[in-house]
Amino acid sequence: MSSDVRFTDFKSDKQPTWCPGCGDFGTMNGMMKALAETGNDPDNTFVVAGIGCSGKIGTYMHSYALHGVHGRALPVGIGVKMANPDLEVMVAGGDGDGYSIGAGHFIHAVRRNVDMSYVVMDNRIYGLTKGQASPTSREDFETGTTPDGPQQPPVNPKALALASGATFIAQSFSSNSQRHAEIVQQAIEHDGFGFVNVYSPCVTFNDVDTYDYFRDTIVDLDETDHDSNNRDQAKDKILESDKEYMGVLYQDEDSVPFEKREGVEGSMAEIPDGAPEGAMDLVREFY
């Protein structure tokens, strides 16, 4: 890994087609800065993206990348990490991809604790399909398909992660570029599954959860006495309904990643050709 890589080295030659002002611009820039700051470079980085506006991120970043099917970005990322544990694997998605169709994969990725990072661009709406309510939309959020609001309580992804045994839970705001990059960097450096929920406003379809709203309501945990190693404190912060927090909510400093726990090492590319001795006899036994 190179020590003189700049975040611009992670930029591809493709120009983003997101709406002007979209929060995903800031989210992606912070991801690239964090990768560079942690000593990674495009040659050892693999970015997996889901479906949605955020799904384009692998095209705009210069690295190994794969655009997965809807809700399946995490299992793809886990597969990449198991195939080559030496790669820095980062999965990117949106609140629809991660907390709706991909919710089951999210829970199990959290509990497996594979050493990778997951950055979710949470704009509380379906942006790619033109403005329907998402799993994190407010109960009274009016859209063309939910004129009276979805009438369901929004999913709390941090609570879901904590209940699933997460070892790193954080939240950031795409507009605060320095703090966002720092938080993603902490997720990358964590030994285990680093989950970051990013407030990434949709300027086209969501006129409620705006940049101004988050600037006025976000509380930076670095400016409080919050102890991120204290699970009870993390639970209290995560379940507060009247505040939006930024920073590391919870980190288990004794986390043991899946690969270390299960003895996964070495790239599958280094496995010699041919079936292991006795493998075909085992196959024939059950034929």
- The conformational region for residue 169 under phi > 0 = left, psi -120 to 50 = alpha, else beta, is beta
- Taking only the tens of pLDDT, the chain with its 287 residues reads 456 888 899 999 999 999 999 999 999 999 999 999 999 999 999 999 999 999 999 999 999 999 888 899 999 999 999 999 999 999 999 999 999 999 999 999 999 999 999 999 999 999 999 999 999 999 999 999 999 999 999 999 999 999 999 999 999 999 999 999 999 999 999 999 999 999 999 999 999 999 999 999 999 999 999 999 999 999 999 999 888 999 999 999 999 999 999 988 888 777 777 767 787 787 788 86
- State the pLDDT at residue 275: 67
Q: Which pLDDT does position 284 carry in this prediction?
A: 82
Q: Is the dihedral of CA 15, 173, 212, 149 positive or negative?
A: positive
Alpha-carbon span 241 to 209, nearest angstrom: 15
The predicted pLDDT at position 278 comes to 80
The dihedral formed by the CA atoms of 96, 99, 104 and 106, expressed in degrees to the nearest 10 = 110
Is 0.75 topped by the overall pTM?
yes
Distance of alpha carbon 43 from its chain centroid, rounded?
20
What pLDDT shows up at residue 192? 98
* Location of structure tokens 């705006």: 210
Domain positions in the chain are: 7-285
Q: What is the pLDDT of residue 3?
A: 61
Nearest of 8, 77, 88 to residue 48 by alpha carbon: 77
Assign domain 7-285 to a CATH class.
Answer: alpha beta
Nearest to 91 by CA among 65, 122, 70: 65
